[in-house]
Amino acid sequence: MVADNRFGYLDSVRFILSYTATPVYWVADMPARTSEFFDDVFVSHSDLLAENERLTNELLLAQRELQVLASLASENSRLRALNEAARIVEGEVLAAEIVNRSPDRASKRVLINRGALQGVFVGQAMLAADGLMGQVVEVMPRSSWVLLVSDPLHITPVEVNRNGERALARGVRGETDELELEFVTQTQDVRPGDLLVSSGMGQIYPKNFPVADVVSVDNDPGQDFAVIKARPRAQINSTRHVMLLIPPKQEVQP
């Protein structure tokens, strides 16, 4: 156990063992797939089906670009460079579906139906159409585990869209899907209703993608830091279609 957890010696063993897991995941997802299949059969023909899928993907992409645009407009008003944010729009995405979730309530993880064979890698960012979802933590041949932003061990570097105040958003323990901003001093300007976007620090998430809305700000003079709660933009418990961000190829300097 220690070898696996601390040193990663067993990563390859795990990877091979997870071939045996694929059929189990496949069967476990069958009810959901069957219902989707029957929906399709009774509603449309196969060519309509293909078109539908293409449109869904395009819609996801368009919504994502729209989100980025909202953020861009705000950034423009603050007279900041647009170059950085425009870069995300160029990044490609890999469409995926959430097929299962962690059977353990203590860890908020979901299983997606894309794995190493589709080019998924550990640390890849997962986005939903309306906000950030999480990052890949374990890759298997045809599926991967994604740690959600609402997990208490997951910290997202964010900034307030209105004024650029930076903070760290951590998942709240327990059954809620809320986030908590850590180490925000009482004097920092964060108000309920503010949109938190990812700040791009930590190099995992793209810059300026919406993460959460601030729900409550509690300035208790007795505490060192303000207690700020936020609700993730992404519908974490009801989304099935997600995107994995493929980072743009790094130019190699000669």
Partner 1 sequence: MKSKAYTYWVVIISLFLAYLLAIVPLPDWAMNWRPQWVLMFVFYWTMALPYRVGLGFAWAAGLLLDVLEGTMLGLNALTLLIVAYVTLSLHQRLRMYNPIQQSGLLLVLSLVALGLGHWLRVISGQIEPVDSMYLLAAFSSAAIWPALFSLLRSIRRGFINN
Q: What does the alpha-carbon distance between residue 184 and residue 101 come to, in Å, rounded to a whole number?
A: 32
Our finding on whether 74 is near partner 1 (CB under 8 A) is no
Show the tokens assigned to 232.
């993730």
Q: What b/e sequence results for 224-252 when a residue is b if at least 16 CB atoms lie within 10 Å of its CB, and e otherwise? A: eebebbbbbbbebeebeebbbbebeeeee
User: Binding to partner 1 by residue 73, rule CB under 8 A?
Assistant: no
Q: Is 178 in the site for partner 1 (CB under 8 A)?
A: no
Residue (101 or 241) nearer to partner 1, CB? 101
Please tell me the distance from the alpha carbon of residue 250 to that of residue 58, in angstroms, as a whole number.
26
Q: How far is the CB of 19 from partner 1 (least distance, A)?
A: 9
Q: What's the min distance (Å) between Cβ of 168 and partner 1? A: 16
Q: How far is the CB of 241 from partner 1 (least distance, A)?
A: 16
Residue 46 or 238 having the CB closest to partner 1: 238
**Of the candidates 82, 86, 106, 117, which one interacts with partner 1 according to CB under 8 A?**
106
Residue 122 sits in the site that holds partner 1 (CB under 8 A): no
The span from the CA of 147 to the CA of 193, in Å, is 26
Q: Tally the residues of the chain.
A: 254
Find the part of the chain contacting partner 1 (CB under 8 A) among 45-53, 59-67, 84-92, 94-102: 94-102
Contact between 117 and partner 1 per CB under 8 A: no
7 part of the interface to partner 1, by CB under 8 A: no
Sign of CA dihedral 117, 119, 125, 129: negative
Q: Are 141 and 117 in contact (CB under 8 A)?
A: yes
237 binds partner 1 (CB under 8 A): yes
Asked if residue 12 binds partner 1 (CB under 8 A), the reply is no
Nearer to partner 1, 154 or 233 (CB): 154
E strand or H helix that includes residue 65: helix 46-77
Residues near 216 by Cβ (< 8 Å), separated by ≥ 6? 192, 227, 228, 229
Q: Which amino acid is at 20?
A: T
Other Cβ atoms less than 10 A from the Cβ of 28: the count is 12
Nearest Cα to 24, choosing from 83, 92, 100, 91? 100
Q: 23, exposed or middle or buried, with CB in 10 Å at 0-12, 13-18, 19+? A: exposed
Instruction: State in angstroms the smallest separation of the CB of 4 from partner 1.
Output: 4
| Nearest residue (CB) to partner 1, 143 versus 199 | 143
Window 29-48: residues binding partner 1 (CB under 8 A): 31-32
Binding mask 190-229 for partner 1 (x = CB under 8 A): ----------------------------------------
Binding residues (CB under 8 A) for partner 1: these are 1-2, 4-5, 10, 13-14, 17-18, 20-21, 24-25, 27-28, 31-32, 100-107, 109, 111, 138, 140, 145, 152-153, 173-175, 237
